[in-house]
Structure 1
């Protein structure tokens, strides 16, 4: 599996699943534009992988962010072959404690920003027979009490993926990976207290047949597979669960 010669944008690349995806794609030989709100961890990737990394410190939901990201990638590497929409916002809690501003914030990051980045990247993706991988969640297909808003945004990502796969074929492939519980710093940022976070993690672990949380690199390897035209050039519109059997 090789991505040599490809230029790939990865959002939410500073930590967690995004960091694992970025490292996997870089090891497969691609040039990568890493995007995240915090510049320092992105610079760490640049220090590790050298000129194959372009750093863009950007909130993907900010006005004009998509245009700036595409301009940075094409300005640095001369082209753009693929987009990995990984940046996400997860806030959990019962609906009576979750106002519309919370839903709007998650929708802006999880749905609107990926759609806008695809739109802005489309001329480059079409020119190079490119592909898009959206990072969704098993929460898009499972009932999730206390996480309904988050699950709804990820269900929207799945719909976006399948609709755009048909709309953009055969020039551009669009697929999604649906991770199960992956051990990342996100679990410290859900809005739950330590006790409720512990209960949530224990429940997820007990309902995962493989008996463990996933690792970011395991998601990264599936992203590489979907980006590799030689291996998956006939795959589009796929929603691939990588979840330790949680949706089985």
Structure 2
């Protein structure tokens, strides 16, 4: 998803700071020598990461106009088999890191009447047996989005997109074996009225639209499903 978002922004002639744990994937964004891109390979949950990212962004491009919290972690398990470590990691990645990045970027966002877009999930609004802790972390991100939209208005807009099942590399990092992953994908496909998984670009377009003040300057606090009808 992050690559698709970056490509959409570059197509709009924006400058981009791309952050992630996989340096090789990030470097593909700069392979063509595009000087509008800065890449930072780091774990956003480590102490001081948010401040480091914002400092690097401002050192390269001078300021920050918009922030996309796209990093996410999925760990699916029933409550009686879920581990405290997995729950801690879900909260650290899906809730605490976005809050820390918004706080670190806030002076710049306020200066430019900028925007924040959180990439959440339909899991934050649907009842999902066997995925309750993941859903709780995304519900917390949804609540953070709506509350900060009021807290930071009128200077900063805060919205979220709620993707349904999308084909991204996150499927390879869910801790599921091949059979469990296939069963999950099959069940999600059956529950999606449009009958297919989404593509990253289909979500990225909404993310970039919510950053654009000309398109969405009067939208804040919105939780927008981009989910093939999953929540209908």
Give the TM bin, normalised by the shorter chain: over 0.9
Aligned mates of 1:109, 1:19 — CA distance in 2:
19
Any conservation in 2 of the 1:93–1:192 contact (CA below 8 Å)? Answer: no
Which consecutive segments of 4 or more residues in structure 1 shift more than 2 A?
A: none
- The 1-side partners of 2:66 and 2:48 are apart by 19
Q: After superposition, give the CA deviation of every residue in 1:107-158 in whole Å (9 maximum; x if it has no partner).
A: 0011000000000100000001100000000000111111111110000000
- The equivalent position to 1:80 in structure 2, one of 51, 64, 70, is 64
Deviates more, 1:167-176 or 1:183-192: 183-192
Matches within 5 A, 1:103-114: 103-114=87-98
Q: 1:147-174: CA deviations, max 9, x gaps?
A: 1111100000000000000000000000
1:119 aligns with 2:85: no
- Shift of residue 48, structure 1, vs aligned partner: 3.3
Mean CA deviation greater in 229-238 or 19-28: 19-28
Distance 2:31 2:112 in 1: 28
Q: How does 1:17-56 map to 2 (within 5 A)?
A: 17-48=1-32, 50-56=34-40
1:1-248 alignment, distance < 5 Å:
17-48=1-32, 50-248=34-232
Q: Give RMSD over aligned pairs.
A: 0.9
Q: What SS class does the counterpart of residue 50 from structure 1 fall into?
A: coil
Q: Give SS of 1:95's match.
A: coil
Gaps of 5+ in 2: none
The alpha-carbon deviation at position 95 of structure 1 amounts to 1.5
Answer yes or no: is the 8 Å Cα contact 1:93–1:191 preserved in 2. no
- Deviation track 1:205-242 (CA, whole Å, cap 9, x = no partner) reads 01101111000001110011101101110000000000
Residues in 2 aligned to 1:78 and 1:111: alpha-carbon distance in whole angstroms: 27
TM-score by length of structure 2 reads 0.98
How many angstroms does 1:49 deviate by? 5.9
Alignment size in residue pairs: 232
TM superposition shift of 1:88: 0.8
Please give the secondary structure, in 1, of the residue aligned with 2:80: helix
Can you give the 5+ residue segments of structure 1 that lack an aligned partner in the other structure? Answer: 1-16
